[in-house]
Amino acid sequence: MRVFQIRPSGAVETSELPQQLPDKGFVWIACGRRELEVELSAVQANLQLLCGTPLVDLHVSDLLNNQLPSHYDFTSQYDMLAFRRLAAGHTETDLEHPGAVLTTPLKRGGPPVLRRIDTSPVGFVVFDRILLTVHPAGCTVLKSYASRLLTPGSATLRAVGTQWPTSPPDLMLRIVNLMVDGFLELRRELTRQLDHWQSELLRPSTRFTNWGLLLDARNALHHLDEICEDQRAAIQDWIEALAAWEPDEHIGGQRGLELLKVRSRDVLEHIERVVHHVRRLEQNAEIAVQMHFSAQSNRTNDIMRTLTALTAIFLPLNLIAGIFGMNFEFIPLLHQESGFWWAMGTMLLTAGVLGMLFWRKRYLARTGR
């Protein structure tokens, strides 16, 4: 558990829960999900002492649930936001969505490798002057923002609404914005992965067989779309609740409230950009599959057209051979020395004329691929 006292002059980290609020500024309590479960009674008692109310039991259950989707809820004393963040590597949520995998080549033209998209919820409880965050073990977003607050000289960058958090909801929105930026950075990798599959699907010289990996990639896109939809719904609920807030000194007055609304809309716009990009990638994947089957169908049509033209060329030859093979005693040219050559010449001439005719009509021409 990490406790920060954030004042206008800077941020200070303490090792214990505070017994009183600072004269100016607010307190940020960041703890892991397991730490909250172990020290729940101490945290509840501290919130009762400083804010006059503990957490509701249902909200405690939500904060301890590592499969909780993104959502927003509130009481008369505090607001709670659960927001799923993107994590790298294998964490406690690897088994939650076993189908959430993507494929990408190690290098251009290289074989695809599986990469798991892992998400886990981060809980935010916003009081007037306290922000409680509950995060999974090893949450890099909270660690990076905490190190940013404690960087020497960071207090000199505390221009209102730009670098220095001025209230618990302001700090929450900044951390959420960092989480959404992680999804925005994922867009380049997703685009590269889908480009790889599109090139594989539309390559005429090879036969595509990685349908299982492609299905996993599409399932991952669907899963990411569901995550972003939950995030958007949660932020929209937060914005609607924010519209009913009164401008008080805890959030910086009217200007602070306006900055919170602007920052909230900015977070929502970033989420919508991720949703738009994911859906565009899904459409591109669908189009690539349809183009693959269209190309295969055209290739099959070309092969059938060529075979039909060759069959049409050999049908007159079979007719001539069948006529001279009839069991009749008197057939023209049958008992003449030049009969064989007349028959062969007629067959070659017929084949040549038909072959030239089909070539001019492009029935036998090689189509560009």
Domain ranges of the chain: 2-155+163-295, 302-360
Question: Exposed/middle/buried for 120, CB within 10 Å: 0-12, 13-18, 19+?
Answer: buried
Q: Are strands 26-32 and 71-74 parallel, antiparallel or unpaired?
A: unpaired
Q: Are strands 26-32 and 130-135 parallel, antiparallel or unpaired?
A: parallel
Q: What is the pLDDT of residue 87?
A: 64
Q: How far apart are CA 261 and CA 242, in angstroms?
A: 7
| 3-class secondary-structure state, position 121 | strand
DSSP 1: -
**Same topology for domains 2-155+163-295 and 302-360, yes or no?**
no
Q: What is the pLDDT of residue 169?
A: 92
Topology annotation, domain 302-360: Methane Monooxygenase Hydroxylase; Chain G, domain 1 (1.20.58)
- pLDDT band per the 50, 70, 90 thresholds, residue 205: low
Cα 65 versus chain centre, distance: 23
- pLDDT band per the 50, 70, 90 thresholds, residue 93: very low
pTM for this prediction:
0.71
Which range has the worst mean pLDDT, 156-170, 328-342, 345-359? 156-170
Q: What is the pLDDT of residue 59?
A: 93
In CATH terms, the superfamily for domain 2-155+163-295 is: CorA soluble domain-like (3.30.460.20)
Longest dimension (CA), the chain: 125
Q: What is the pLDDT of residue 367?
A: 53
Hey, how many other C-beta atoms are within 10 angstroms of the C-beta on 289? 17
Hey, how many other C-beta atoms are within 10 angstroms of the C-beta on 278? 24
Mean pLDDT score across all residues of the chain: 79
